[in-house]
């Protein structure tokens, strides 16, 4: 086993390895500290957000140190994805699991004995088998990494009893550093992980729980599928996950989306193993764009380019919500997270929790209550999430949630409105539920209200200018903000101490106005969304995306294993015409340059020649990605977008807007598509001549609008991708 290395030498070696194998030349936040712990053999607990580079924290040290890195992973699919990605980068790695034949496992054992592998992945059950553990005690190990480490804690959201046995690792490998990695762990879970594993003086490295590239939107909705389809249509052809609470809802939703023409597949525990594997592979290999799933789906998914996650129902805890929504935008690029819920969701979860006789029921109910408060709050979503995990957001406006983007329309006098509702609950002796209370306030003439003589109450009809459903929404918001509580079998309303104080004028409720019949905008961009496309030739991006899909199919791996979207955007920004220039692209290491460089450079050169686009552009800085200092200042992009909207409203062309805004035309095109969606523009004539628009519409009718490349080919490559994108956006509004 190699001796500890001085910290400065450690970082030098690590950066050289990262550049060679992964094409990265800098550390993301806390990566340097986490990798140094792995290099020097000090135990550690590392909590980094999804997309924050956790896997690299043990993979880079593994290739730098002598010996084998032993990685404990809970799912076969997760092991396969990581091993495929490592091999694609030129790192020798393997996994040992139940799908392999005895002969295949013997081959891997021989590779380990000969020192040919740097990492091997194994499930906790297999590792703890006597023969397996004995084998590894006779193997020189560089480190032990435990992935998805929250599974070891009963306070974690995915507790797995088989993880409990991993405590023996410190006894079996007393001279080897043990490192635990997870994306989601509260302070209680962090400490429990260290204690359950028996770690010795572990370094606790806790990153920010904020995911600034995710745009959070939360809405109570009675027409969830219709709301979801709006976002799915905006993201047509891109990867998305739709979560449902029940299997039946998964099946219904997947069938409905398929009937609408979307490439959607269901995933839940009621399907056979073969069906689940086929559907998961279709999603990973981009033969399906949408997977509709219960919470059974996700932990093993390492797909980096999921552009949206939709929840058609409230998750049962904030830990689950952060984990599930965090599967979007793992590549650090922009992504949407939409949560659509109703008051019945919490009732469903309480019923399910009550059926579970485990000792964790009280904790589960407490977590559910926190989730309810989160949904009903009108505070910054990013701030609420990080505060739940014991941190604070370092900026006033996150710029990436419905609250901070100004999409929620608050009532003008919330205190007076809340006091009227609370007064009615008291007049009803705190004996009725939300539906009944709302009808009394609305002045309903239902027989039971008249029979109970509640039409004689001073609060009867007090809000008769609003319908009962709107009043019911406000009641639920007051429950979520802890001014009202639901108690008993029938969820009767009662005032909390905060509610009684509110009646006396002490408190600041926030209530949302009824949603207009037609949303003001279909989409408002959030943090970095346009900056991440700055300078990118979108037509070239689509060409490279198609090339990636073909190469991935030839090699039998998911497309993101070949290159992630971040790398493709950087290629389409830099447009390198040589292998030397190709190596400058973020995410391109030496092995991938040798493996794929010729094909991609050839495609780039051909596209530039056909389109008259300059090659070998040199951006002043890399594309923004998770961890870049550039992401700290997001407001200029938002200001430019507002200015662009004004320009387009005056009839400016892309060229004119580009000059006036001092932005690249590719970026201004992105602003234009946002403008078209927000203003529901149906006429592309200000930006595309009538003849071209007509041809594009005919092509879309012939080949569909799921992807741009088939349209481009159908038009004999005579009309630009930019014009196709504009016409398609206008058609979507008709």
DSSP secondary structure string for all residues of 589-647: -HHHHHHHHHHHHHHHHHHHHHHTPPSS---SSPPP-TT-GGGG--HHHHHHHHHHHHH
Q: Are residues 200 and 221 in the same domain?
A: no
- CB atoms inside a 10 Å sphere around CB 617: 15
* pLDDT for 7: 46
Q: Are residues 115 and 198 in the same domain?
A: yes
Does residue 514 lie in a domain region?
no
Helix (H) or strand (E) holding 122: strand 119-122
Q: Are residues 463 and 327 in the same domain?
A: no
Bridge partners of 143, per DSSP, are 69
Pick the last residue of a domain from 162, 181, 206: 206
* pLDDT for 6: 43
Average pLDDT, the chain: 85
Pick the last residue of a domain from 172, 206, 240: 206
Model confidence at 250, in pLDDT bands (50, 70, 90)?
very high
Does residue 519 lie in a domain region?
no
Q: Is the dihedral of CA 358, 363, 369, 375 positive or negative?
A: negative
The proportion of the chain whose per-residue pLDDT surpasses 70, expressed as a percent, equals 90
3-state secondary structure of 706: coil
Question: What separation, in Å, do the N-terminal and C-terminal C-alpha atoms of the chain show?
Answer: 67
The mean pLDDT value for 285-309 works out to 83
Does residue 323 lie in a domain region?
yes
Q: Are residues 452 and 482 in the same domain?
A: yes
Model confidence at 581, in pLDDT bands (50, 70, 90)?
very high
Q: Is the dihedral of CA 118, 121, 122, 127 positive or negative?
A: positive
* pLDDT for 49: 82
* pLDDT for 527: 40
Bridge partners of 181, per DSSP, are 46
Q: Residue 389 pLDDT > 90, yes or no?
A: no
Q: Are residues 230 and 188 in the same domain?
A: no
Pick the last residue of a domain from 464, 483, 503: 503
d(CA 395, CA 405): 14
- Greatest extent of the chain over all pairs of C-alpha atoms, in Å: 88
The mean pLDDT value for 159-185 works out to 87
Does residue 466 lie in a domain region?
yes
Q: Are residues 554 and 661 in the same domain?
A: yes
Nearest to 432 by CA among 414, 452, 447: 452
d(CA 476, CA 511): 10
In total, how many domains does the chain have? 4
Query: Which CATH number fits the domain that encloses residue 370?
Result: 3.40.50.300
Q: Residue 312 pLDDT > 70, yes or no?
A: yes
Q: Are residues 150 and 54 in the same domain?
A: yes
Backbone region of residue 662 per phi and psi (left: phi > 0; alpha: psi in -120 to 50; beta: other values) = left
For residues 716, 692, 524, 414, the Cα torsion angle rounded to the nearest 10 degrees is -140
* pLDDT for 298: 62
Does residue 396 lie in a domain region?
no
Q: What confidence tens digit (pLDDT) does each residue in 452-504 have?
A: 999 999 999 999 999 888 898 899 889 878 899 988 877 899 999 999 999 99
Q: What confidence tens digit (pLDDT) does each residue in 391-412 have?
A: 888 787 888 998 888 888 788 8
Q: Are residues 201 and 225 in the same domain?
A: no
Q: Are residues 715 and 620 in the same domain?
A: yes
* pLDDT for 637: 44
Query: Which CATH number fits the domain that encloses residue 491?
Result: 1.10.10.10
CA-to-CA separations, 144 to 105, 129, 550, in angstroms, rounded: 20, 16, 36
Q: Are residues 220 and 369 in the same domain?
A: yes
Does residue 523 lie in a domain region?
no
**What does the chain come to in residues?**
734
DSSP 20: I
More confident residue, 713 or 44: 44
Query: Which CATH number fits the domain that encloses residue 595?
Result: 1.10.150.80
The most confident of the ranges 7-11, 51-55, 420-424, 617-621 is 420-424
Q: Are residues 353 and 458 in the same domain?
A: no
6 token code pair = 């001085």
Mode of pairing for the β-strands spanning 335-341 and 306-312? parallel
Does residue 1 lie in a domain region?
no
d(CA 330, CA 51): 4
Q: Are residues 43 and 92 in the same domain?
A: yes
Does residue 402 lie in a domain region?
no
Domain hosting 170: range is 7-206
């Amino acid at each position: 086993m190699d001796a500890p290395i001085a910290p400065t030498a450690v970082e030098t070696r690590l950066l050289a390895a990262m550049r060679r194998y992964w094409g990265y030349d800098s550390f993301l936040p806390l990566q340097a500290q986490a990798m140094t712990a792995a290099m020097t053999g000090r135990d550690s607990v590392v909590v980094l957000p999804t997309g924050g580079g956790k896997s690299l924290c043990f993979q880079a040290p593994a290739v730098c140190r002598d010996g084998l890195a032993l990685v404990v992973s809970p799912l076969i699919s997760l092991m396969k994805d990581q091993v495929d990605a490592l091999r694609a980068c030129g790192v020798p790695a393997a996994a040992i699991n139940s799908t392999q034949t005895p002969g295949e496992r013997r081959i891997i054992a021989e590779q380990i004995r000969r020192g040919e592998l740097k990492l091997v992945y194994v499930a906790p059950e297999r590792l703890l088998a006597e023969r397996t553990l004995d084998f590894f005690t006779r193997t020189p190990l560089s480190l032990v990494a435990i992935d998805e480490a929250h599974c070891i804690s009963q306070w974690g959201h995915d507790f797995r009893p088989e993880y409990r046995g991993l405590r023996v690792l410190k006894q079996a490998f007393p001279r080897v550093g043990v490192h635990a990695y997870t994306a989601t762990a509260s302070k209680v879970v962090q400490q429990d992980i260290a204690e359950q594993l028996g770690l010795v003086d572990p370094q606790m490295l806790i990153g920010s729980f904020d995911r600034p590239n995710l745009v959070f939107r939360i809405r109570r909705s009675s027409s969830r599928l219709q709301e979801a389809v709006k976002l799915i249509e905006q993201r047509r052809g891109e990867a998305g996950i739709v979560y449902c609470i029940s299997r039946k809802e998964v099946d219904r939703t997947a069938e409905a989306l398929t009937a609408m023409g979307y490439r959607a597949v269901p995933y839940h525990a009621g399907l056979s193993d073969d069906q689940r594997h086929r559907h998961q592979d279709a999603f990973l290999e981009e033969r399906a764009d949408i997977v509709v799933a219960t919470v059974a789906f996700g932990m093993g998914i390492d797909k980096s380019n999921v552009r949206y996650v939709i929840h058609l129902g409230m998750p049962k805890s904030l830990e689950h919500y952060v984990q599930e929504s965090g599967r979007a935008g793992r590549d650090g690029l922009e992504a949407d997270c939409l949560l659509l819920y109703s008051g019945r969701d919490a009732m469903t979860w309480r019923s399910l929790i009550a059926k579970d006789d485990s000792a964790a029921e009280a904790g589960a109910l407490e977590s559910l209550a926190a989730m309810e408060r989160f949904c009903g709050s009108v505070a910054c979503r990013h701030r609420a999430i990080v505060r739940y995990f014991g941190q604070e957001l370092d900026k006033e406006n996150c710029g990436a949630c419905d609250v901070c983007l100004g999409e929620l329309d608050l009532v003008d006098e919330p205190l007076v409105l809340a006091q009227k509702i609370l007064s009615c609950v008291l007049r009803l002796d705190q004996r009725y539920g939300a539906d009944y209370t709302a009808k009394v306030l609305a002045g309903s003439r239902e027989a039971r209200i008249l029979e109970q003589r509640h039409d004689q109450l001073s609060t009867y009809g007090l809000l008769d200018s609003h319908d009962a459903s709107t009043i019911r929404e406000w009641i639920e918001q007051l429950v979520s903000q802890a001014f009202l509580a639901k108690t008993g079998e029938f969820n009767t309303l009662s005032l909390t101490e905060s509610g009684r104080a509110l009646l006396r004028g002490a408190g600041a409720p926030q209530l949302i106005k009824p949603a207009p019949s037609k949303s003001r905008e279909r989409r408002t961009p959030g943090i970095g969304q346009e900056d991440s496309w700055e300078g990118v030739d979108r037509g070239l991006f689509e060409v490279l995306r198609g090339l990636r899909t073909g190469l991935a199919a030839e090699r039998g791996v998911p497309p993101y294993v070949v290159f992630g979207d971040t790398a493709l955007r950087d290629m389409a920004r830099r447009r390198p015409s040589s292998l030397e220039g190709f190596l400058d692209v973020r995410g391109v290491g030496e092995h991938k340059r040798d493996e794929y460089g010729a094909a991609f450079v050839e495609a780039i050169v051909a596209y530039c020649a056909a389109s008259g686009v300059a090659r070998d552009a040199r951006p002043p800085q890399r594309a923004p990605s998770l961890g870049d200092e550039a992401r700290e200042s997001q407001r200029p992009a938002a200001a430019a977008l507002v200015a662009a909207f004004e320009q387009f409203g005056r009839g400016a062309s892309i060229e004119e807007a580009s000059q006036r805004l001092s932005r690249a035309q590719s970026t201004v095109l992105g602003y234009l598509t946002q403008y078209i969606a927000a203003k529901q523009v149906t006429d592309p004539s200000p930006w595309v001549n009538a003849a071209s628009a007509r041809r594009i519409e005919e092509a879309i009718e012939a080949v569909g609008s799921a992807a741009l490349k088939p349209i481009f080919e159908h038009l004999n490559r005579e009309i630009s991708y930019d014009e196709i994108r504009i016409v398609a956006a206008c058609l979507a509004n008709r």
